[in-house]
Each structure stands twice: as structure tokens, then as C-alpha cells.
Amino acid sequence: MAKSGPSFTCTECGAVHKKWTGRCDGCGAWNSIVEEAPLTAGPASKTLGPARGRQIELTTLATKEVPPPRASSGLGELDRVLGGGLVPASAILVGGDPGIGKSTLLLQAAASFARQGLSCLYVSGEEASAQVRMRAQRLGLADAPVQLAAETSLRDILTTLDTVRPDLAIIDSIQTMWSDNVDSAPGSVAQVRAACHELVSFAKKRGTSVILVGHVTKEGQIAGPRVVEHMVDTVLYFEGERGHQFRILRAVKNRFGPADEIGVFEMTGAGLAEVANPSALFLSDRGQASPGSAVFAGIEGTRPVLTEIQALVSPSPLGTPRRTVVGLDSGRISTILAVLEARCGIPFAGLDVFLNVAGGMRSTEPAADLAVAAALLSAREDVALPPDMVIFGEISLSGALRPVGQSENRLKEAEKLGFSQAIAPERSKITGGGGMRVRKMPDLITFVGDMFAAG
């Protein structure tokens, strides 16, 4: 066998290169190539005979152990996103833009867990201890039995963790941690990956839960391109619009609970406050019925959430009219505009379109299609929709309306918030509908004719 030197592998696409380059030829990613040691040419590389290795113990899928008790944080919204509380020995990554409130959230969580009797260690690599203490003071958390350290040396942190053995360790942030085993700057892909690997291994070995804070890059990924996401059990994103006080903690991956679950918080002068009824909050500043506004009855994770979709349509001075979309998928908006034009004969050419989900909420459900179309039409025709109406349904390319899941839950939430009528796709599974008057529509044309006949 020819002696092989080290190889260079792209961490994004796995392409193998003969030498290191700044950019991968395979996928075009920058700074993604790492050196890998050659396979050792020991006897094992010649053959893997049955005599080598030891017999692995095999078990069945039936479980004898009871699931470990989850620790409640005392913050209902956080527990919900974690899938019902903190699982011992789990590794959690909390990502988000700088300044969105990650440190605030986790300091509150640490204090809350500590007050519930868990031993908590909060390691800040970004702020001095005095800064963290000051924040704790301001948030009224100074009396919580949280152990605090300002440190970036991974070796010292691991040694300390091994001695203290806390139930929960919070590392703020993973990008500031630095391992002397790795020969590159803190924050580099190699450092972030090494630090994450060490901390997650520690968690699994010693039964300590770790929460890692990660900053998000411009492309919306947690720096250390995705390498960290697959190492941890749970990935949470903390998001929100900078100008809004709402913050949404969203589970995008969770080995111990449903993904897509959200927790809603409000950033106040005294830290983050839980919002137990997000629908009421998102709709609270809705004024009189005005053209361009439609209320969408959505589902976020396991609970229904009502949001207001706002549209503005105005003649465009530009050759290519603007399509400005906040909080919705702009690809879907293009599709809805195309369906309105092709199937209903309502053109948006020459018109600027602005769409927004009120309150800084983000909605990715296809079920929002019909509410978006309603808001667009209402804005275009300058006709307000009835203020007590909620709308949901997916629009297919043919212009037909497709039923969406959990129709009854959507209606129940709407009724609870004082709405009395709903528009839903024809084949929606609705029995009764409670006190709501539900009008079922087969396709978009029927909807347009029904709602905007005069226009």
C-alpha cells in the first residue's frame, strides 16, 4: 500500500483535496478545509477479521429504565421549548443575533434553575464577572445561588466543572472559548468545534447538562458552519426584530421533544418576561379594521397562535416593482402573486408590494397562504376584511385551496380571542366549529368573488 500523507477535507461537502486551499473547489465554501491525519498503517488497516474487536452487547428496543425526571426551570416558556424541562446530561445550543437577549435569557434561566434546587454554573467569556453581577442585580436575581465565572480557557473550565460537578453549566459563548489543543484563534471553526466537542463529551460522561450560547453569522447560521448543530441534542434559536420587544425562542432540533416549538418572551426594562398567551399579544395593537390586514390562525409547534398579516400595495415608480417581505417566505409570496394573476386574473405588475407579520413574528406555515392572499387583495382593492374574521388554508398552484392540519385547534383559539367567523378550505376536517361561523371555500376564485365582489 502506498504511504499516504495527510489529506485535506472540506467540512461542508466532504470533498478531499491534496493540499490546503482557502476555498473548496467542490462546493465553493471559504475556509472550510481541515487537515486530517492519514489512516494509521497498522495491522488493523490490512484486514478487519472477525477475531479482532470485542463482541458488542446487544439489547432490544423495549426499555426497562424510566425516563429521567426533567428539571423544570420555573420559566414555563423555556420548559415548553425544551420539550417539558431540562433533561439531565443533555447538550443545548442557543443561537441568535448579537444583542437579541441570549445572555439575559440564560442568566434568568440559570437563576431560575438554581432557585429550583439545581446547582448551576454560569461561565461568561464575553463579560467580566462584575458586569454579569450588575445585570443580575438589575434583574433582581442577585440572591439566586448561581456560581459565576468569567473565563475563556477551556482546559480550566473543564477542570473546574470536573471538580464542582454542577447539574447545569452555561457557557456564554462558545465562540469565545479557547482550547490549547487547537492551533487557531478563538472563534475559528476548528476552535468552536473542539470546544463544543469537549463540552458535549463532558456532559455525556459526567451527567452535567450544558447550554452553549452561539452567535449567528450573517447567513443565519451558528458560526462554525453547522458543525456545532449536529453535536448537540437540542438547537434553539432566539429571534426577534430589533425594534420590537417580542422575542421568540424556537426549537429547530430537539432529541427530547418536538421541534418547531416556540416560547414567547417580551423584553422589558426588567429582563425577559414570559408571554403565556402570544395571540393576545400579537393582536393587541390591532386598531380599527383597515384595508390590507388579515388575521391568520396559525400553529406554532404544538399551540395555535393568531397573527396579523399586513399588506400594502401601491403603484410602483420602478421598472421592476418592489416585493418587500418581513416575517414570511418571499418565495411563497411570489407564488401566491403568480397564482392570483394566472388563476384569478388579478395582476400585481406595476405595483409595489409590502408584506409584514405584525409584532416581529415569523410564519413559515403554508397554511398562511390564504391569509396572505386576503391581505394582498384587501390592500389592492382598498376593502377592509371583517374585523372578527380569521383565515387559514394553503393555496395550490392550480388555485385550489388545500386543507391544513389542526383546523379545530385554530378555530378554538380564534373563538377564545373573540373572533366569530372563519374562512377555511373546503375539505378541512371541522366538526361543529364551536361558536365560529366557518365558511369553506374550494378555491381562490370563489374566495375572491365572495369577499371582493364589488372590486
Binding site for Mg ion (CB under 5 A): 103
- Regarding 343 and contact with ligand TYD (CB under 6 A), the answer is no
- Type and span of the H or E element at 96: strand 91-96
- Regarding 100 and contact with ligand TYD (CB under 6 A), the answer is yes
Between 117 and 243, CB nearer to ligand TYD: 243
Q: Considering only residues 49, 99, 287, 345, which one is a binding residue for ligand TYD as defined by CB under 6 A?
A: 99
- Regarding 332 and contact with ligand TYD (CB under 6 A), the answer is no
Choosing among Mg ion, ligand TYD, none, which partner's interface includes residue 117 (Cβ < 5 to 8 Å by kind)?
A: none
| Residue among 165, 219, 213 nearest 192 (CA) | 213
Q: Considering only residues 1, 51, 58, 270, which one is a binding residue for ligand TYD as defined by CB under 6 A?
A: 270
193 burial level (CB within 10 Å; 0-12, 13-18, 19+): buried
Distance CA 320, CA 148 (A): 55
Minimum distance from residue 261 beta carbon to ligand TYD (Å) = 20
Between 96 and 399, CB nearer to ligand TYD: 96
Distance CA 361, CA 189 (A): 31
Instruction: Tell me if 120 sits within 8 A of 114, measured CB to CB.
Output: yes
- Regarding 124 and contact with ligand TYD (CB under 6 A), the answer is no
Instruction: Tell me if 272 sits within 8 A of 101, measured CB to CB.
Output: yes
Minimum distance from residue 215 beta carbon to ligand TYD (Å) = 8
In this structure, what C-alpha cell is assigned to residue 91? 447538550
Task: Give the binding range for ligand TYD (CB under 6 A) out of 26-34, 265-273, 284-292, 308-316.
Answer: 265-273
Minimum distance from residue 279 beta carbon to ligand TYD (Å) = 23
- Regarding 243 and contact with ligand TYD (CB under 6 A), the answer is no
Distance CA 378, CA 291 (A): 5
Between 273 and 384, CB nearer to ligand TYD: 273
- Regarding 240 and contact with ligand TYD (CB under 6 A), the answer is no
| Residue among 274, 254, 278 nearest 265 (CA) | 274
3-class DSSP state for residue 417?
coil
- Regarding 269 and contact with ligand TYD (CB under 6 A), the answer is yes
Task: Give the binding range for ligand TYD (CB under 6 A) out of 142-150, 268-276, 279-287, 296-304.
Answer: 268-276
Between 178 and 296, CB nearer to Mg ion: 178
Q: Binding residues for ligand TYD, how many (CB under 6 A)?
A: 14
Between 103 and 406, CB nearer to Mg ion: 103
User: What DSSP assignment string belongs to 100-169?
Assistant: SSHHHHHHHHHHHHHHTT--EEEEESSS-HHHHHHHHHHTT-TTS-EEEEE--BHHHHHHHHHHH--SEE
Q: Considering only residues 135, 193, 402, 410, which one is a binding residue for ligand TYD as defined by CB under 6 A?
A: 135
Distance CA 328, CA 337 (A): 14
- Regarding 102 and contact with ligand TYD (CB under 6 A), the answer is yes
Choosing among Mg ion, ligand TYD, none, which partner's interface includes residue 269 (Cβ < 5 to 8 Å by kind)?
A: ligand TYD
- Please report, to the nearest 10 degrees, the dihedral formed by the alpha carbons of residues 17, 20, 26, 27 taken in order: 150
Between 113 and 296, CB nearer to ligand TYD: 113
Between 148 and 417, CB nearer to ligand TYD: 148
Between 98 and 434, CB nearer to ligand TYD: 98
271-274, strands of its sheet edge to edge: 146-150, 120-124, 168-172, 209-215, 91-96, 234-239, 246-254, 262-268, 271-274
Between 103 and 208, CB nearer to Mg ion: 103
3-class DSSP state for residue 272?
strand
Task: Give the binding range for ligand TYD (CB under 6 A) out of 10-18, 20-28, 34-42, 262-270.
Answer: 262-270
421-425, strands of its sheet edge to edge: 323-326, 351-357, 303-315, 293-300, 389-391, 421-425, 437-441
33-36, strands of its sheet edge to edge: 16-17, 7-10, 33-36
Residue found under cell 424510566: 66
Minimum distance from residue 104 beta carbon to ligand TYD (Å) = 3
- Regarding 96 and contact with ligand TYD (CB under 6 A), the answer is yes
Q: Rounded to the nearest 10 degrees, what angle do helices 154-164 and 189-206 cross at?
A: 10
Between 67 and 99, CB nearer to ligand TYD: 99
Q: Considering only residues 144, 267, 273, 438, which one is a binding residue for ligand TYD as defined by CB under 6 A?
A: 267
Choosing among ligand TYD, Mg ion, none, which partner's interface includes residue 247 (Cβ < 5 to 8 Å by kind)?
A: none
Residue 253, CA distances (Å) to 78, 90, 296 in order: 15, 13, 25
- Regarding 104 and contact with ligand TYD (CB under 6 A), the answer is yes
| Residue among 399, 398, 387 nearest 449 (CA) | 399
- Regarding 98 and contact with ligand TYD (CB under 6 A), the answer is yes
- Regarding 49 and contact with ligand TYD (CB under 6 A), the answer is no
Measured in residues, the chain has a length of 455
Distance CA 192, CA 237 (A): 18
Task: Give the binding range for ligand TYD (CB under 6 A) out of 67-75, 85-93, 99-107, 294-302.
Answer: 99-107
Can you give the binding site for ligand TYD, defined by CB under 6 A? 96, 98-104, 135, 139, 267, 269-271
